[in-house]
Structure 1
């Protein structure tokens, strides 16, 4: 059994924005044409226009602008307001997905779900706060290496002090958070050597956002977890949206939260 859920934004009791409508707006932005966007989504122009008109009716500002004449022969483009709505939707949708993931951790065990929901939400400056389950504890001397299971089949190793394991009451099977600063994740395009002691996780580059000398990289792991990394532009290594890439993380840089 799997807990799942769809995310919609409503306004005045009516459906306003959903994944399909956002995709339509994004395709209009890419093609500059409602007709072309409709064809890509295998829907009629009439159906596409009805969706746009429905959104426009509920929106505080127009979502599209019609272009006439000129070198390109006219077309359609999104307004700045529409682009803001798209960004807002994606952010809310990601938070909704994280919420659903917390439910999914419980599987078909309602008591475990109750424990998950009773956990205090963390508030830290770290961009990555990943729900996980403690699968293994290996202690040598003053340090313990923990193996954490993320969503899907992805795993992480974290090295903390043995005293921290004792003080936190960590036991196999307990629910934890793997907390990682975005600056402690290195995203590379070439698969690292297999003899590295670092965690190496495979994923797909979802977004690249450049600001000044920095670049924020969102990497969606094969199991579904989203990692956010912050690097200098010089470390970009020809990364592109949609390509396979690898997250390299030292076990020493992963903090454990409960």
Structure 2
């Protein structure tokens, strides 16, 4: 048994955007014709036009532009607003897919599903929460090292108890969050030589904010995520915006969140 779900956007209590309508818009963009798009989707022109007309009636702006005749013949193209709708739908659909995948981890176990639901509404004061996929689990009776691939690129390791890994039902391929307090991250310009049980993540200094005693450093690690470190001004190195630097984090300071 598998949990599944379809994603639709509605407007004024009417169906507005779904995967089929998005595909139709993309086919129109590719072919320049509603008729050609309909043929590729194996539907009638009438059915395709009804879908386009339904979207147009609900949209805040027109979604297609039609030209008739002329030197190059007539055709149909999408408006800039239509492309915005496509991008918005795809981003929301991806979030919905991740949401459903989290449910699917429970399989046919209602108790585990209840745990996942409870965690979805859990908030934490930790500044750094990296979405990642478990790539390896190494257990030595008492402890477990969870290796994760960070969304957007990069690797993160966490050391937790074997009992915690079992109770959380962690599996290779599971999507999790690597949660790290800003005070547990050291930012340095020199890559450490001894990296045993230590994460070393390369990035670029995005910003430094300081007051009389403390500083907050944001390190951009990829297109999706950054890490924020808090430190005293006494420990602040000669860092400046744009510098290449390294975030140093002990395995034990990375909390796993579902």
Q: Which runs of 5+ in 1 are unaligned?
A: 150-155, 181-228, 232-251
In the alignment, is the contact (CA less than 8 A) between 2:7 and 2:93 conserved in 1?
yes
**Aligned match for 1:137, one of 136, 139, 159:** 139
Residues 15 and 3 of structure 1: CA distance in aligned 2, closer, same or farther (over 3 Å): same
- Separation in 2 of the partners of 1:60 and 1:68? 24
- Separation in 2 of the partners of 1:29 and 1:82? 10
In the alignment, is the contact (CA less than 8 A) between 1:129 and 1:178 conserved in 2?
yes
Indicate whether 1:170 and 2:164 are aligned: yes
Q: Which runs of 5+ in 2 are unaligned?
A: 171-175, 180-221, 225-248
TM-score, normalised with respect to structure 1: 0.58
**1:172 to partner: Cα distance:** 2.5
Paired residue for 1:92?
Answer: 92
- Separation in 2 of the partners of 1:77 and 1:171? 52
Deviation string, structure 1 residues 42-85 (Cα, Å, up to 9, x no partner): 11111100100011111111110012344421200001111111
Paired residue for 1:257?
Answer: 256
How many aligned residue pairs are there?
A: 179
Counterpart mapping for 1:4-153 below 5 A:
4-119=4-119, 120=122, 129-130=131-132, 136-138=138-140, 145-146=145-146
- Greater Cα radius of gyration, structure 1 or 2: 2
Paired residue for 1:159?
Answer: 157
| RMSD over equivalenced CA pairs, Å | 3.8
- Separation in 2 of the partners of 1:257 and 1:68? 59
In the alignment, is the contact (CA less than 8 A) between 1:139 and 1:145 conserved in 2?
no
